[in-house]
Amino acid sequence: MNPTVAHEAGCEAPAEAARAGAEAVSSRSNPAAELGRRIKMLRIGRGMTLKDLEERGGISATHVSEIERGKASPTIGALGRIAAALGLRPATLVEPRSLPDCCLRRASDSPALPVQWGGASIASLTCPTHEASVGLHLFTLPIARDVLLQHRHDGEEWVTVLSGVAEIRIDGRAYVLREGDSLHFHANHPHGYANLGSAPATLLVAGRPRLAI
């Protein structure tokens, strides 16, 4: 057997994996957490904030946040309002589809379309796989010293600067990173990113759990 074929057996191409992952909740993983990740991914992919979803769906932004973090399970009514705000059928949010155990991304593959979140542009460098707990993303920070992507979550993040100068603020403490510098931290502390340079800054960010975009 061709070694390349043998190595790629069981791996799904990124386009197919992305299509499956965009609406996927694996029946073999934590249903509440996976449903929350899917809702967050769909919301962010549409450029919507929690407040936008609250206004369109008539459901508390606080409650949606709890659902997205897997801390609460939505009722049928809440799920319907969330789906309506996203322009989807409720069944789309909960229909189980299996994800591959392996996903191959070639250098020649079209890059994932970036999404705008908190003022930054984020492109996924990994494609969805079954029960994936780690994600790799390319963050592009615009020229602005204001803190972007202020958030907190369970797990951890590792960041390295590919170009530019970035400041990462964790619990109010600032860490200035230049090209080649890296930082690894627990993400349950409030953290955000700022661009201190005179050009857009590009960061490579690995996160656990996987950022749902």
Q: What are the pLDDT digits (tens) for 26-72?
A: 334 467 787 888 888 778 767 688 998 999 999 999 999 999 988 89
Q: Which pLDDT score, from 0 to 100, does residue 34 have?
A: 79
Q: How confident is the model at residue 89 (pLDDT cuts 50, 70, 90)?
A: confident
| pLDDT per position as a tens digit, 95-151 | 655 667 888 888 888 777 787 777 888 888 887 776 677 888 999 999 887 888 888
More confident residue, 83 or 149: 83
Residue 12 lies in a domain: no
Name the CA dihedral angle for 23, 26, 29, 35, rounded to a multiple of 10 degrees. 30
More confident residue, 201 or 4: 201
What single-letter DSSP state applies at residue 193? Answer: E
The overall average pLDDT reported for the chain is 80
pLDDT for residue 7 is more than 90: no
DSSP class per residue in 87-153: TS-HHHHH------SEE---TTSPPPPPEEETTEEEEESS---TT---EEEEEEE-S--S-EEEE--
Number of domains within the chain = 2
Residue 151 lies in a domain: yes
Q: Same structural domain for residues 56 and 111? A: no
| Domain membership of residue 48 as a residue range | 25-94
pLDDT for residue 166 is more than 60: yes
Q: What is the rounded distance in angstroms from the CA atom of residue 86 to the CA atom of residue 42? A: 7
Residue 140 lies in a domain: yes
- Please give the angle made by the CA atoms of 156, 158 and 164, to the nearest 5 degrees: 140
Q: Same structural domain for residues 175 and 201? A: yes
Q: Which pLDDT score, from 0 to 100, does residue 150 have?
A: 82
% of the chain beyond a pLDDT of 90 = 33
Residue 169, SS3 per DSSP: strand
Write down which residue in 74, 94, 114 finishes a domain: 94
Residue 11 lies in a domain: no
pLDDT for residue 79 is more than 80: yes
pLDDT for residue 19 is more than 70: no
Contacts of residue 203, defined as CB under 8 A and 6 or more positions apart, other chains included, come to 138, 139, 140, 141, 159, 160, 161, 162, 166, 193
Question: What token pair was written down for 197?
Answer: 């340079």
Phi, psi dihedrals of residue 45, rounded to the nearest 5° = -60, -25
Rg of the chain on CA atoms, in Å? 18
**Stated pTM of the model:** 0.61
Q: Same structural domain for residues 64 and 116? A: no
Q: Same structural domain for residues 129 and 58? A: no
